[in-house]
Amino acid sequence: MKVLVINAGSSSLKYQLFDMTDERVLAKGICERIGIDGHITHKPQVEGKAVFDEDVSLPDHATAIALVMEKMLSAESGVISDVSEIGAVGHRVVHGGERFSASCLIDDAMLDEVRACIPLAPLHNPANITGIAACRAVLGDVPQVGVFDTAFHQTMSPAAYTYAIPYEYYEKYKIRRYGFHGTSHRYVAARAAEMLGRPIEELKLISCHMGNGSSLCAIDGGKSVDTSMGFTPLAGVPMGTRSGDIDPSIIEFLADREGMTVDAVLNVLNKKSGMLGVSGVSSDFRDLWKAVDAGNERAKLALDVFFHGVAKRIGAYAVAMGGVDAVIFTAGIGENGAEEREAICKNLGVLGLALDTEANKVRGKEKDVTAAGSRGRVLVIPTNEELVIARDTVEIVGA
Ligand code: ADP
């Protein structure tokens, strides 16, 4: 079966077409600036087919999907000969609230429940729903599956997901920790078990997904038991532009001193904080290292705040699980950042974990980078959320 994987944002749409007979990617690409002007980058992964990279008019997501189909079928950059070859579509859906603890076939009732989660993810879920509607408009009744960022974390216990605020707010508004990046944490945990040659049921893992957004997850026996993001993806460790956890009193204090609305303060915490906010240089770790080399103290401080935040939480999760068999690093920084991994692991000896600095000189490849004599393992595992979405889609549609 060929499966189209869609990750729809408010003005963008990323896609990958998989041939699930061998899990090969046939084509991938991105439509950007949808509803503004429009641009498509279509990259066939098949010999002899041309990359298509052009400004095009993309008034809406349905036009974008129609164009993606046109490229998939075209003589120059196509990889299929008929749309009917696409057996199913898998969608990334950000928030499934408490309703979805696993991926799910999309129908009208299911879509209503995703709509009901919009207050929990006002920026993301409407875009995901638009992507689903666009696929329906263009592909008709090809089965579609929703794969939720939050689903993996639905195994957390009330002790881990309950915020210590009046319980009525949980009952009334479902305010609680949900967690995100679940598809990524699930994928790397399963890979870790395979790499270690041990059943996931007997492993205590800490997965560090470190990209523009970062989150950590404690995975005990294959189940998420705690995670650093919370009610929204603003919480947890410091990120590229997001603050991560702060004292909530700062919001009122800043609003008062700076004459800002709460909305404006939250905008600062989401878009102008984190590495960018502390360094004043950039949200991108590569830029931060360059600035450090040029003697920029605040870039150094930003990195130190990140390392401190991540390492401290690894310690917390080891305690929460009563041990740790492996720490996993994934996503842009986790997969590529050797210096970052080394800095984070500096004090993990107390948990019986040590990284081998020579083995750690690796970028974007699966590798065990544990030092000799270390009780637990340190693993680098590139994530593949699209593949998980494609696999779930095949499983659900096949059933
Ligand atoms: P997203 O969360 O948007 O998917 P990514 O997973 O692509 O983000 O991660 C982006 C981050 O990864 C950026 O901060 C970038 O600096 C970092 N990164 C990418 N390549 C490297 C590298 N070679 N070394 C260190 N950091 C890197």
pLDDT, tens digit, 9 for 90 and up, residues 116-160: 999 988 888 999 999 999 999 999 999 999 999 999 999 999 999
Burial-class residue 323 by CB neighbours within 10 Å (0-12, 13-18, 19+): middle
Q: How high is the pLDDT of residue 123? A: 83
Catalytic one of 37, 55, 149, 304: 149
231: Cα within 13 Å, side-chain hemisphere? 14
E strand or H helix that includes residue 93? strand 86-93
Q: Are 362 and 338 spatial neighbours (Cβ–Cβ below 8 Å)?
A: yes
Query: Residue 288 CA: which ligand 1 atom is closest?
Result: 16
pLDDT of 95 reads: 95
CA 318 – ligand 1 centroid, Å: 26
Whole-angstrom distance, CA of residue 274 vs CA of residue 272: 7
pLDDT, averaged across the chain: 97
Given a cut of 80, whether residue 399 has pLDDT beyond it is: no
141 is catalytic: no
The mean per-residue pLDDT over the stretch 212-238 comes to 97
Residue nearest (by alpha carbon) to ligand 1 atom 4:
211
pLDDT of residue 120: 87
**From the CA of 274, how far away is ligand 1's center (Å)?**
14
The residue among 195, 198, 219, 191 whose CA lies nearest residue 207 is: 219
The pLDDT tens digits of the residues spanning 298-339 come to: 999 999 999 999 999 999 999 999 999 999 999 999 999 999
Determine the average pLDDT of the residues in 215-231: 98
Ligand 1 atom closest to Cα of residue 287: 16
Mean pLDDT in residue range 173-197: 98
Residue 312: other Cβ atoms inside 10 A: 12
pLDDT at 372: 96
| Closest protein CA for atom 19 of ligand 1 | 332
Alpha-carbon distances of 223 from 17, 204, 317, rounded to whole Å: 29, 9, 13
Q: What is the pLDDT of residues 80-122, one digit of tens each?
A: 999 999 999 999 999 999 999 999 999 999 999 999 999 988 8
Give the whole-number percent of the chain exceeding pLDDT 90: 98
Nearest-CA residue for atom 23 of ligand 1? 336
As for ligand 1, residues whose beta carbon falls within 6 Å of it are 211-213, 240, 284-286, 331-333, 336-337, 363
